[in-house]
Amino acid sequence: MMPITSGAPVRTAGQKPRILVADKNPVVRTGLAEIVARDGRFEMVNTVATGGAFIAACTEGQVDIGLIGWSLPDMTGGDVLEILKRRQIPARVIIYTGEAVSDVLRQTIKSGAWGFISKSDEPPVFCSTRFLGLRGDGFAFPTSTWNRCPRTR
């Protein structure tokens, strides 16, 4: 896991990764927060409704991993990723969406997200150690999402 360097105390190896959920829908925010909190390996920091609030929390060093919706009230997940990249904020961002998988997946990869989850994926996918970026082995998305993407030959 990359250390948080902007305003937060230095994290030690034994601390749980801090997760923040950002989504326009309060039911989705609550559901994702409950799934993450129940798992026990993570610290559920908070939920927010906008990209601006998500970026502010990342800037304050409160977030290691963000689960964010692609379509937020004030910007897209791609916009959030671009701002984090420009400001050199090291939070790992996983995009969560119900939008057309192949289009958003392509944009997500290009924008530098750590991973991608479709709303069609099963809840256990969210707390997969590999998926939440704890192994540090690059972009992750569930096989079920990959199987729904059209292939070009």
pLDDT per position in the chain (153 positions), as tens? Answer: 333 333 343 456 678 889 999 999 999 999 989 988 888 888 999 999 999 999 999 999 989 999 999 999 999 999 999 999 999 998 889 888 887 667 788 888 888 888 888 777 776 666 664 455 554 444 454 444 434 444 333
Note the pLDDT of residue 151: 39
Q: Which CATH number do you get for residue 116?
A: 3.40.50.2300
* Contact (CB, 8 A) for 69 and 116: no
Number of domains in the chain: 1
Residue 113 within any structural domain of the chain: yes
- Residue at 4 is within a domain: no
- Evaluate whether residue 97 is within a structural domain: yes
Q: Residue 115: inside a domain, yes or no?
A: yes
Considering the domain boundaries, does residue 5 fall inside one? no
The dihedral through the CA atoms of 33, 27, 85, 113 has a sign that is positive
140 vs 35: CA distance, rounded Å? 19
Q: Both tokens of residue 78?
A: 């791609």
Look at residue 8 and tell me if it is in a domain. no
Domain coverage including residue 60: 53-69+79-146
Q: How far apart are CA 68 and CA 117, in angstroms?
A: 10
Please report the sign of the dihedral spanned by the C-alpha atoms of residue 55, residue 58, residue 63, residue 65.
Answer: positive
